[in-house]
Structure 1
Amino acid sequence: MDTTQNVRLTAWMQEHGHSSASLAEAVNSAMEKLVGRPGGHDGSSVRAWKSGRIKWPNAATRRGIEAVTGLPCTDLGFAPRGGAKSIPTPKQEDPDMKRRTLIGGLAATAAVAAAAPGMASRRIGMSDITRLQTRFTEIVASDHRHGGQLGIEQRAADLANEALNLQAAGSATQRVRSNLYAAAAAFRSSAMWAAIDGRRYDEAQRHMREAQALAEMSGDQAIKFRIWSHAGTMYRHMGRPSDALAANDVARGLHITRRDPMFASLGLARQAAIHGSAQERSGTKRAFGQAQEAMDRADPHAARPVWLVAFYDQAELDSLALSAYLALGDYQTAEAHAHRCLAGLRPHMARSRAITQTRLAHAQLAQGEAGAAVASAMKVHTTAATQHARVSRMLNEFGAALRATAPGTTTVHIWTEHTAAWRASA
C-alpha cells in the first residue's frame, strides 16, 4: 500500500500552528456546523491523513477540512479516488465564519481563511508584531484614562480581528504566528475588560470565550493569566464568588505565577477580593498577606507585559484590599487602604482614582462621617461620575445611603446640588 506522506497538509498545519489534535477538534466542530453532527476524529485521524494512509477522507470530513482551511482538499495533498473532484465548501452567509475555528468547544476567531482575492501575499514578520504591540499599549493607556467605554471595547475587538487577518495576509514563521495569536488574545482580553468595567457582562463573556481560545493557540502564559484573572473579576462583579474563585484558580495555577512573584501577587490579591465579596474574613486577610509578601520579593526590574506594568503595584493591591474590606463591613480598614491607594496612584490611573474616591466616600459614610464622605465623593471627576457605569452606580448608591442616614441636612443639600451640576455639565 502506497503511503506517501501528505507534505501539503503537514506544511499547512505547521504554518497555521495546528497540532494533530487541534486540527481534529476544528474539523469536528466544522462538520457539526455543516452537516448537523460533530465528526469523530482525533489526533490519530489527522496523523493518518498526514502519513498518506488515508488519501481521500469521506465527503463530510472533506467538507469539514475545507471549511477549516479555506482550501480544496486537492490543494492540501489529498488524492481523489477514480478522478473524483473535491467539492468546495459553500460560502457562509456570515463573513466572520471565514475565520472561525472552534477550539475545545470555544468559539474562537482564528485566521484560517485564504487572503482576499487580488491581495498580494507578503511575509509577515516581527515588525508587524511590534506595530500591534504599540497599538495595544495605546488601548491599555486609554482604558486607564477612561475605562469601561463602549468605544474602547469596540476598538480593541477590531484590533483583535486585524491581528487575525494578518494570519491570512501572507507567510510567517511559527514564532510570528504564535505572537499574532497572542496579540489577538491581548486585544480581545482588553475588549473583555472594557465590557466588564462597563457592566456589559454578556459581551464580556463573549469576548472571554474568544480570548481564551486564542490564548491557547498562542501558548502565551502571561495572556492566559490575564484572561482568567479578568474572568475571576467579572464573576466577582456579577455576584458569583464560586465561579470567581474557580476562574482565578486557573490563573493562579499557571506556571508563570511560580516564575514571577508579581503574577502570584496579583492572583492572590484578586483571590482576597473574591473572599471579601463572599464574606470570608479569614481567607481575605490570609490572601492579602500572601499577596503582599509575593510583591515584596518580586524583582522590580524584571521584564513584564505592558498591561501588568501599567497597573499592578502597591496602589492596586491597596485598591483590591479597599474593595474587600468594604464588602466585609470593616470600614476603618477599608478607609486606611483607600488613603494608601490614593497616595500611591500614578497620574495616568484616572479611572482607578475615581473608583477609589467613591469607595472611600462609602467607607467614611458608613462610619458616620457624612461631611468627609461628601467631600471625598465630590473629588470624583465629572466624566467618570457621569460616563463610567461602575462609578455612576456606586455614586448613586452613595447618594441613597446619604439621604437615608442624614435626611434634610445641609450635607445632603450640598450633595444634591453637586450631582445636579455634574449632570448639567455632562
Structure 2
Amino acid sequence: MTPNRALAQKMIELGYTQEQLAEEMNVALRQITGSTGNVSVRTIWNLLHGRTRRPIGRTRVALEHVFDCSIKDLGFDQPSPTPSEESVLRRTFAGAAAGIAAAAALPPTPGPRIGMADVDRLDAAFAGLVAADNSHGGTVSLETRAVAFAHHAMELQAVGSASQRVRQRLYYLAAAFTGTAMWAALDAYQPDRAEGHFERAMRLAGLSGNADIQLRLWGHAAVLSTQKKSPHDALAAAEAGRASSTCRRDPLARSLAAARLAGVQAEAGDERSARRSLDSAVDAFLRADKSELRPTWMAFYDQSELSGLSGLAMSRLGRHDEAEAHFHRTLGELRPAYVRNRWFYSTHLALSQLRQGDVELACSTATSVLQDPVSDSLTGRIERLLGTFSRELAGRAPRAQATESWKEQYGRRKGLL
C-alpha cells in the first residue's frame, strides 16, 4: 500500500485528526442526505494508507464536500462523478441506512500507535532548532526545517492513533515548530512570511491547550507588529503575553513578558510605563526559582537577557548612556552559545556609543561584529542595524578616520554577503 500524501497534507492544512475528519464527513453526509453517515476512523485509515484508492458513493461525496475539491485533487484515482451519478448516489443514501449502521458497528482498524517516544524525538528536534537559532540566527534553512517538523507532527496526528495527552503534546510541538519558523522569518526581517506562520501557530497553540507556547507566540507577535509599523498591535500583543496564565503562575515568565512590554512602551515614547514595566520585570526575576523546569524555548532568558531587553528599552527612549550600561552587562554575562545575541547586542551597543558622540569606540564595537570569524550570515535584523549604524556614522562624523576605516570594512563585508 502507498500512503496518500495528498490527503494527509490536506488534513494537516486544516488541522484534522482521523477522528475529526470522520466526524466532519458524517456531518456532511447528514447535510446532504438527512441521514447519519457511517464514516469511521477505520475508513480514514484506509484512505490515508492507500487501502482505498477509489473511494465511491457516500465516501467520495463526503470527501469532496469537506475539502471542497475533486477526489483527484485529494490523491485518489477516481475522477469526479457525472451529474447523473451524483443524483443516483443521493437517492440511494436513504436506503442504505441498515448497511450504514452495520458498518459503523465494526471495530476500527487502528493506525500505527503514536506514543511519548515519538513526542520525545520531536522534543529533541525542537531543542536542536532552538540551539541552531541561538548560534546562527534566523536562516531560510532553519525556517524550512521548522516548517517540515511542524508538518511531521501533524502528520502523526493524521495517520496514527494516540492518547489525548500525546495528541495535545503533538499540537504543542507543531505550534512550537511553527513559532520557530515565525521567529526565523522575523530575525531575517521578513514580516509577511512571519505573519503567515503566526496565524497557523496560534491555531495550533489553541488546540494544544498549552499557555506556555501562547506566551512565546505573543512575544513574537509584538516583534511582528513592530516590523509592520503597527504600534497599537504591538502593544496589544505584548499586553496579551503579560496577562497570560503562565505569567500569573511563573515569575520568570512574568519577568520576560514585562521586559518585552517595556520595550514596546518605550517604542511608543511612554517612558513612565516602560520604566514601571522594567521595575516589574526585575522584581519578578528576583522572585523566580531559576531551577524550576521550564520549556526549552525559555532557556535563553537569564540576567544577561533581562539587561539586554532593558538596554533596548532605554535606547528607544533616547537614554543612550543607560542603554550602554545595560548592553555592557549583557555582553559581560552572555553565555557563549548565544552567538546571534552577541552580534545583536554588540551592534546596539555600538549605536548607543555613537549616539553619545564616541565615534572611535562605536566603530571599534561595530567592527568587532564584522570581524567575528563565525559571523558569515549577518542578515535580517542585524544587517539592518549595521546599515543604520553606517548611515548615522556618516551623518555624524563623515570625515573622521574611524568613519573611513568603517566604510572600507563594511563595504568589503557587504560585497561578501
Tell me whether the two structures share a fold, i.e. TM-score over 0.5. Answer: yes
The alpha-carbon deviation at position 254 of structure 1 amounts to: 1.8
- What is aligned with 1:6? none
State the secondary structure of the residue aligned to 1:58. helix
- Once residues 236 and 416 of structure 2 are traced to their aligned partners in structure 1, the CA distance between those partners, rounded to angstroms, is 43
- Once residues 230 and 365 of structure 2 are traced to their aligned partners in structure 1, the CA distance between those partners, rounded to angstroms, is 30
- Once residues 96 and 383 of structure 1 are traced to their aligned partners in structure 2, the CA distance between those partners, rounded to angstroms, is 46
Which of 286, 292, 300 is residue 290 of structure 2 equivalent to? 300
Which of 404, 409, 412 is residue 418 of structure 1 equivalent to? 409
Query: Is structure 2 residue 244 aligned with structure 1 residue 254?
Result: yes
The alpha-carbon deviation at position 239 of structure 1 amounts to: 2.7
| Paired residues of 1:262 and 1:294 also in contact (CA < 8 A) | yes
The alpha-carbon deviation at position 231 of structure 1 amounts to: 0.7
Query: Is structure 2 residue 335 aligned with structure 1 residue 362?
Result: no
The alpha-carbon deviation at position 65 of structure 1 amounts to: 11
Query: Is structure 2 residue 192 aligned with structure 1 residue 202?
Result: yes
State the secondary structure of the residue aligned to 2:301. coil
- What is aligned with 1:393? 384
State the secondary structure of the residue aligned to 2:63. coil
Change (3 A) 1:368 1:125: same
The alpha-carbon deviation at position 58 of structure 1 amounts to: 1.8
- Once residues 38 and 264 of structure 2 are traced to their aligned partners in structure 1, the CA distance between those partners, rounded to angstroms, is 43
- What is aligned with 2:6? none
Amino acid at match of 1:170: G
| Paired residues of 1:342 and 1:353 also in contact (CA < 8 A) | yes
The alpha-carbon deviation at position 121 of structure 1 amounts to: 2.7
- Once residues 129 and 293 of structure 1 are traced to their aligned partners in structure 2, the CA distance between those partners, rounded to angstroms, is 35
Alignment of 1:403-414 (within 5 A): 403-414=394-405
Change (3 A) 1:60 1:138: farther
Change (3 A) 1:17 1:405: farther
State the secondary structure of the residue aligned to 1:300. coil
State the secondary structure of the residue aligned to 1:266. helix
Query: Which sections of structure 2, spanning at least 5 residues, go unmatched?
Result: 1-15, 46-56, 76-108
Query: Is structure 2 residue 145 aligned with structure 1 residue 155?
Result: yes
Change (3 A) 1:147 1:272: same
| Greater mean alpha carbon deviation, residues 267-276 or residues 406-415 | 406-415
| Structure having the higher Rg | 2
Alignment of 1:20-419 (within 5 A): 57-59=30-32, 71=44, 85=58, 87-90=61-64, 92=69, 121-309=111-299, 311-380=300-369, 381=372, 384=375, 387-419=378-410
Q: CA RMSD in A?
A: 3.4
Q: Deviations over 1:9-44 (max 9, x none)?
A: xxxxx98686xxxx9xx95xx9xxxxxxxxxxxxxx
| Paired residues of 1:147 and 1:351 also in contact (CA < 8 A) | yes
- Once residues 274 and 120 of structure 1 are traced to their aligned partners in structure 2, the CA distance between those partners, rounded to angstroms, is 49
- Once residues 406 and 425 of structure 1 are traced to their aligned partners in structure 2, the CA distance between those partners, rounded to angstroms, is 25
The alpha-carbon deviation at position 406 of structure 1 amounts to: 0.9
Amino acid at match of 2:256: L
Q: Deviations over 1:239-261 (max 9, x none)?
A: 32211121122222221111110
| Paired residues of 1:384 and 1:391 also in contact (CA < 8 A) | no
Change (3 A) 1:264 1:62: farther
The alpha-carbon deviation at position 388 of structure 1 amounts to: 2.0
State the secondary structure of the residue aligned to 1:89. helix
- Once residues 198 and 420 of structure 1 are traced to their aligned partners in structure 2, the CA distance between those partners, rounded to angstroms, is 20
Q: Deviations over 1:69-114 (max 9, x none)?
A: 9859xxxxxxxxxxx945342374799989xxxxxxxxxxxxxxxx
- Once residues 259 and 288 of structure 2 are traced to their aligned partners in structure 1, the CA distance between those partners, rounded to angstroms, is 14
- Once residues 277 and 64 of structure 1 are traced to their aligned partners in structure 2, the CA distance between those partners, rounded to angstroms, is 56
| Paired residues of 2:29 and 2:58 also in contact (CA < 8 A) | no
Identical aligned residues as a percent: 36
- Once residues 385 and 320 of structure 2 are traced to their aligned partners in structure 1, the CA distance between those partners, rounded to angstroms, is 16
Change (3 A) 1:85 1:365: closer
| Paired residues of 1:382 and 1:422 also in contact (CA < 8 A) | no
- Once residues 338 and 299 of structure 1 are traced to their aligned partners in structure 2, the CA distance between those partners, rounded to angstroms, is 25
Q: Deviations over 1:236-282 (max 9, x none)?
A: 23332211121122222221111110110111000000011111111
Amino acid at match of 1:377: A
Q: Deviations over 1:143-179 (max 9, x none)?
A: 0111121111111011000111011232111111111
Aligned residues: 352
What TM-score results when the alignment is normalised by the length of structure 1?
0.75
Amino acid at match of 2:233: D
Q: Deviations over 1:343-363 (max 9, x none)?
A: 111101111110111111111
- Once residues 278 and 270 of structure 2 are traced to their aligned partners in structure 1, the CA distance between those partners, rounded to angstroms, is 12
Superposed structure 1 runs of 4+ greater than 6 Å apart:
14-18, 60-66, 93-98
- Once residues 123 and 73 of structure 2 are traced to their aligned partners in structure 1, the CA distance between those partners, rounded to angstroms, is 24
| Paired residues of 2:29 and 2:37 also in contact (CA < 8 A) | no
| Greater mean alpha carbon deviation, residues 179-188 or residues 381-390 | 381-390
| Paired residues of 1:184 and 1:214 also in contact (CA < 8 A) | yes
The alpha-carbon deviation at position 61 of structure 1 amounts to: 9.1
What TM-score results when the alignment is normalised by the length of structure 2?
0.77
Change (3 A) 1:422 1:249: same
- What is aligned with 2:97? none
State the secondary structure of the residue aligned to 1:302. coil
Query: Which sections of structure 1, spanning at least 5 residues, go unmatched?
Result: 1-13, 31-45, 50-54, 73-83, 99-118
Amino acid at match of 2:286: D
Amino acid at match of 1:89: L
- Once residues 330 and 16 of structure 1 are traced to their aligned partners in structure 2, the CA distance between those partners, rounded to angstroms, is 56
- What is aligned with 1:105? none
| Paired residues of 1:361 and 1:373 also in contact (CA < 8 A) | yes
